[in-house]
Amino acid sequence: MTTPVKLAIVYYSSTGTIAEIADALHEAGVKAGAEVRLLKVAELAPQSAIDSNPAWAAHHVASADIPEATPADIEWADAVIFGTPTRFGNVSSQLKQFIDTLGGLWAEGKLTDKVYSGFVSTATAHAGHESTLLALYNSIHHFGGIIASPGFTDPAKFVDGNPYGTSHADGQGTKPVDEVARTAARIQAERVIRIAAALKAAA
């Protein structure tokens, strides 16, 4: 009997959209039988910037109890799903800073052969969904990781239309995470776990 897949969901969320998608991935991962750690990365912005946006300030308080990711969590995991809002079509500095702390594990070969995937949110429909995920995956290539993007592997993926990972356009906070994004998250979590389980069983 194989042991459950160990899945780390590691994300940065300022106003809560990415956190909602992370919750959906967490729920789907648990239902799929994985052992899941839901983890945020450290906030780098000054308190004055956080306080200037009521939604950011509210989420900062609401998420205070979510544990912060460490390199040890990545070493523990069989699979990692990274989440970030887009920043000018790229990965947020908060998530990138965390990824940059993984150099020690990389040098020891401890990031290789794990399964990785990503999810993203933007303000508008064409504001960096794909470019942000592709930028994120550059790091995974350097890790020697195995990218498990959802692709168009399920009919529902033709509804959200993003084969690179789950994404949602929140309309500057006016469009809550919907069932389309939640379904995409479920499909992504199940695929990541299925691939990680197959690799684990073959090891």
pLDDT value of residue 143: 98
- 29, 189 contact by CB (below 8 A): yes
E-state strands within 24-114 = 35-40, 79-87, 90-91
Element spanning 7, H or E = strand 6-11
pLDDT value of residue 109: 97
- 2, 203 contact by CB (below 8 A): no
Instruction: Please report, for the chain, the start and end positions of each structural domain, with discontinuous segments joined by +.
Output: 6-202
How far apart are alpha carbons 8 and 76 in whole angstroms? 8
pLDDT in tens, the chain (203 residues): 479 999 999 999 999 999 999 999 999 999 999 999 999 999 999 999 999 999 999 999 999 999 999 999 999 999 999 999 999 999 999 999 999 999 999 999 999 999 999 999 999 988 899 999 999 999 999 999 999 999 999 999 999 999 999 999 998 888 999 999 999 999 999 999 999 999 999 98
Closest of 117, 123, 122, 115 to residue 167, by C-alpha: 122
**Which class is domain 6-202?**
alpha beta
C-alpha distance from residue 93 to each of 2, 60, 88, 145, 155 (Å): 37, 16, 11, 21, 34
- 7, 193 contact by CB (below 8 A): yes
Burial of 100 (0-12, 13-18, 19+ CB in 10 A): exposed
Global pTM value: 0.97
pLDDT value of residue 1: 47
Residues whose CB is less than 8 angstroms from the CB of residue 199 and which lie 6 or more positions away in sequence, other chains included: 78, 113, 115, 146
Closest of 159, 158, 154, 156 to residue 191, by C-alpha: 154
